[in-house]
């Protein structure tokens, strides 16, 4: 079920209205380090993070998307990264099971949000970090492994959701989740940073997406691949300059956001956004 955002003329790409779940970073901090972006000594400013996050939420709303909110929980500073909370397809919710103890309580909190609203949920038996490592296209779900999500969870998600899951191996610790190295442009094509993937996975990506947008190191290093597209508009970190120009050349409308404070925890726009697909 997709609702067109606006009538597209021949020269414009067609976007669809989306439904997102977000979590205001009221308890955000960088108080532990579970990826190379995080420096607890340098920390991060909660008020700045909240202000930047509000900018992201407003961007979605002004594009015509629906944003639901889950209550933040004290003591869970990374809960703002809603993408990690679950994987939702066809109204079925595959729960997250976190790698690190620091984030473990987030999985049940997100799953409860969905269960309380009548969604069919599955508590995962294997480690997986939700949409951080699972990205849904029309014909398949791309799934990352190597740092967080266990390959056994790829199989579990495929069984539960009845959608083909394609495993991709991540090899650079800076790009520890699939959504830090790749994003869907629409239901059929992606943008990605090849160096984040193993040689075999790069060949898989070349085979599946011969027309992909290929990003360079400078754009990947500002988490430019952690972007959110509705098929027409791409919400992306403002610093990803070259990638933004390439997206515009391909006919996408770039919506730049500043999430520099959240990047101190290793997150960007996509990390803050869990898509609810019915
Ligand atoms: N500090 C968080 C972690 O390392 C950041 C998560 C970013 N989320 C994402 N979907 N990439 O788990």
Structural domains in the chain plus CATH codes: 16-275 (3.75.10.10)
What was the pLDDT predicted at 2? 62
What was the pLDDT predicted at 7? 54
Rounded average pLDDT over 123-134: 98
**Active-site residue flag, 271:** yes
Q: Is residue 63 over pLDDT 60?
A: yes
Give the integer Cα–Cα distance in Å for 268 and 226: 6
Cα 191 to middle of ligand 1, angstroms: 19
What was the pLDDT predicted at 12? 80
Summarize pLDDT for 142-196 with one digit per residue, the tens. 999 999 999 999 999 999 999 999 999 999 999 999 999 999 999 999 999 999 9
What was the pLDDT predicted at 11? 61
Cα 267 to middle of ligand 1, angstroms: 5
- The dihedral built from the CA positions of residue 72, 32, 172 and 163, taken in this order, carries a sign that is negative
Summarize pLDDT for 247-257 with one digit per residue, the tens. 999 999 999 99
First to last CA, the chain: 7
Name, in order, each residue with C-beta under 8 angstroms of 42's C-beta and a sequence gap of 6 or more: 30, 264
Cα 83 to middle of ligand 1, angstroms: 8
**Active-site residue flag, 23:** no
Task: State the CB neighbour count (10 A cutoff) for residue 167.
Answer: 17
Summarize pLDDT for 198-246 with one digit per residue, the tens. 999 999 999 999 999 999 999 999 999 999 999 999 999 999 999 999 9
Name, in order, each residue with C-beta under 8 angstroms of 265's C-beta and a sequence gap of 6 or more: 28, 30, 35, 37, 38, 44, 77, 78, 81
- With a Cβ cut-off of 6 Å, ligand 1 is lined by 34-35, 38, 78, 81, 83-84, 103, 132, 177, 179-180, 265-267, 271
Strands of 190-192's sheet, edge to edge?
Answer: 182-184, 190-192, 213-214
Give the integer Cα–Cα distance in Å for 143 and 163: 12
pTM for the whole thing? 0.96
Longest dimension (CA), the chain: 52
What was the pLDDT predicted at 72? 98
């Amino acid at each position: 079920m997709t609702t067109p955002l606006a009538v597209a003329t021949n020269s414009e790409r067609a976007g669809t209205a989306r439904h997102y779940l977000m979590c205001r970073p009221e308890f955000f901090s960088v108080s532990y380090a579970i990826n190379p972006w995080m420096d607890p000594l340098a920390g991060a400013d909660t008020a700045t993070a909240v202000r930047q996050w509000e900018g992201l939420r407003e961007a979605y709303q002004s594009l015509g998307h629906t944003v639901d909110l889950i209550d933040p929980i004290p003591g869970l500073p990374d809960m703002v990264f809603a993408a990690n909370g679950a994987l939702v397809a066809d109204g079925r919710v595959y729960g997250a099971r976190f790698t690190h103890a620091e984030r473990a309580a987030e999985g049940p909190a997100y799953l409860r949000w969905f269960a309380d609203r009548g969604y069919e949920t599955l508590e995962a038996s294997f480690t997986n970090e939700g949409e951080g490592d699972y990205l849904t296209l029309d014909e398949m779900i791309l799934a990352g492994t190597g740092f967080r999500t266990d390959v056994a969870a790829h199989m579990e998600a495929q069984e539960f959701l009845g959608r083909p899951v394609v495993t991709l191996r991540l090899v650079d610790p800076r790009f520890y989740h699939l959504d830090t190295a790749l994003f869907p442009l629409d239901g059929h094509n992606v943008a990605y940073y090849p160096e984040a993937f193993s040689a075999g996975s790069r060949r898989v990506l070349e085979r599946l997406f011969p027309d992909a947008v290929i990003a360079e190191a400078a754009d990947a290093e500002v988490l430019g691949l952690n972007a959110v597209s509705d098929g027409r508009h791409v919400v992306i970190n403002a610093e990803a300059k070259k990638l933004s120009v390439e997206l515009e050349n391909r006919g996408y409308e770039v919506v730049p956001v500043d999430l520099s404070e959240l990047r101190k925890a290793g997150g960007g726009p996509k990390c803050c956004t869990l898509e609810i697909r019915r």
